[in-house]
Amino acid sequence: MNRPVPHPTRHLLMIVAGFALWALAFVLLYGTQATGCKAGWHLVEMGPANLLRLVLALLFLLHLGAMLALVRYLRRQVVPMAGPVRFLNRVALFSAWAAIASTLFTFVWLFWLSPCQ
Amino acid sequence: MASTLALAGCGGPVSTLDPAGPAADAIARLWWVMLIGAVALFILMMALFGLVMLRPGAGSGLSRRGWILAGGLGMPLPILTALLIYALIQGERLLPHPDGGPNGGVVRVEAVARQFAWEFHYPELGAGAAGTTLNVLHIPAGRAVDVTTRSDDVIHSFWVPRLGGKIDATPGHSPTIRLRADRPGLYAGLCAEYCGTGHRDMGFTVEAHPPALYEQRLRAALAGEEAQ
Ligand SMILES: [Cu+2]
């Protein structure tokens, strides 16, 4: 566990990392939904769901996974016991958890709502 | 007198607060729920504000952290979650699902927008009636009607406030909205997306007929348009 302490700027950037992933998920899900509807993916049955829902679910889970990895990374980061870097790390960690909560709250409906129509 | 004045804005031919069908009804109900909720919250906030003004230290029973958690998460999250789920269920129910509405089959019509008029097509009407009606949409009352919009030029928006929400008429797209008029009558419609200098006058009328008379009246209207 003897990793070098990253430059403070990186800690600052980590504060927006979680919600940047949320924004990316938003754009990709929205774009995929519209494209999939136009292309008729929702008409391709795949077991209990359809191709469009499956692709959307995959995108959703990918982003959720990336956010959990971010949390893991932030928790493992070696930071001083006190001072601004520790503060930035804490804020980044809370932001990442907030982004995960937002992701669930905003996108979990894609498993249920009609994607097209 | 004051209440009469206050409520005067809630009537009229283009009032969303005077719904005449299930889609508009759902929107109006959600609006009332949100208004009542907002008023209740406002009163609560003002009461708390008044309390700490009149009796400094009145809220000190709860820690600072407690206030932040209760006011910042504890109160808004359940309210927003309930509103979201309610709206999603309501929205899902109003979608033009292919299985149709109650009362059997869905009637399909097309609304074609152009600067600055609405042309209505009735693709389901049998042979020999390929005509259209200008600025008047004929529908049967009590049945679900799927209105598919199209545009020949710019973006317009089809809106009959007493029957339901808006749906854009965008070139290259043909989205559908499901409306139903519970009773026969005239319902005012308008273009709800600014589309040019004639936008203001781009209104239309929805005429809901008794179901038994619908086809006969529609054919008469089409014949009338042809004669003009
Ligand atoms: Cu218009």
B108 and B49 share a domain?
Answer: no
Q: Is B159 exposed, middle or buried (0-12, 13-18, 19+ CB in 10 A)?
A: buried
Asked, for residue B29, whether it belongs to a domain, the answer is: yes
Asked, for residue B187, whether it belongs to a domain, the answer is: yes
Dihedral angle of Cα B71, B76, B79, B83, to the nearest 10 degrees: 160
> Does the pLDDT value for residue B178 go beyond 50?
yes
B165 and B215 share a domain?
Answer: yes
Q: If you average pLDDT over residues A86-94, what whole number do you get?
A: 92
One DSSP character per residue, chain B reads -HHHHHHHTT-STT-TTS--SHHHHHHHHHHHHHHHHHHHHHHHHHHHHHHHHHSTTGGGGS-HHHHHHIIIIITHHHHHHHHHHHHHHHHHHHS--TT--SSSPPEEEEEEEETTEEEEE-TTS-TT---EEESEEEEETTS-EEEEEEESSS-EEEE-TTT---EEE-TT---EEEE--SSSEEEEEEE-S--STTGGG--EEEEEEPGGGHHHHHHHHHHHHHH-
Q: Looking at CA atoms only, how far is residue B71 from chain A in angstroms?
A: 17
Q: Which domain holds residue B205?
A: 102-227
What share of chain B in percent tops pLDDT 90? 48
3-class DSSP state of A42: helix
Widest distance between CA atoms in chain A: 56
Residue B99: its pLDDT value, please? Answer: 67
CATH code where residue B202 lies? 2.60.40.420
Q: Which of B43, B74, B48 is nearest to B61 (CA)?
A: B48
Could you tell me which chain A residue has the CA closest to the CA of B97?
A117
> Does the pLDDT value for residue A109 go beyond 90?
yes
B109 and B217 share a domain?
Answer: yes
Asked, for residue B147, whether it belongs to a domain, the answer is: yes
Residue B188: its pLDDT value, please? Answer: 93
> Does the pLDDT value for residue B103 go beyond 60?
no
CA of B193 to the centre of ligand 1 (A): 6
Could you tell me which chain A residue has the CA closest to the CA of B146?
A117
Residues near A11 by beta carbon (within 8 Å), at least 6 away in sequence: A79, A85, A88, A89, A92
* A113–B176 CB contact, under 8 Å: no
Residue B76: its pLDDT value, please? Answer: 87
Asked which of B69, B92, B115 is the last residue of a domain, the reply is B92
B112 and B154 share a domain?
Answer: yes
pLDDT tens per residue, range B111-157: 999 999 999 999 887 655 568 899 999 999 999 999 999 998 999 99
Q: Where do the structural domains in chain A lie, given as residue ranges?
A: 9-108
> Does the pLDDT value for residue B42 go beyond 60?
yes
Asked which of B92, B114, B131 is the last residue of a domain, the reply is B92
Choose between A39 and B3: higher pLDDT.
Answer: A39
Widest distance between CA atoms in chain B: 81
Q: If you average pLDDT over residues B163-176, what whole number do you get?
A: 91
Provide the mean pLDDT of chain A. Answer: 89
Asked, for residue B97, whether it belongs to a domain, the answer is: no
> Does the pLDDT value for residue A53 go beyond 60?
yes
Number of domains comprising chain B: 2
B188 and B121 share a domain?
Answer: yes
Asked, for residue B6, whether it belongs to a domain, the answer is: no
B221 and B119 share a domain?
Answer: yes
Residue B61: its pLDDT value, please? Answer: 83
Asked, for residue B172, whether it belongs to a domain, the answer is: yes
Asked, for residue B9, whether it belongs to a domain, the answer is: no
Q: Specify whether the CB–CB gap between B211 and B140 falls below 8 A.
A: yes
> Does the pLDDT value for residue B60 go beyond 50?
yes
- The rounded distance, in Å, linking the Cα atoms of A41 and B120 is 31
B57 and B109 share a domain?
Answer: no
Indicate the pLDDT class of residue B58, thresholds 50, 70 and 90.
Answer: confident
B125 and B223 share a domain?
Answer: yes
Q: How many other CB atoms are there within 10 angstroms of residue B188's CB atom?
A: 17
Asked, for residue B145, whether it belongs to a domain, the answer is: yes
Which of B85, B92, B173 should one mutate to test binding to chain A, selecting the residue with the greatest count of A CBs within 10 A? Answer: B92
B171 and B197 share a domain?
Answer: yes
- The rounded distance, in Å, linking the Cα atoms of B133 and B145 is 16
Residue B1: its pLDDT value, please? Answer: 47
Within an 8 Å CB–CB cutoff, is residue B99 touching chain A? no
Indicate the pLDDT class of residue A4, thresholds 50, 70 and 90.
Answer: low
> Does the pLDDT value for residue B199 go beyond 50?
yes
B150 and B211 share a domain?
Answer: yes
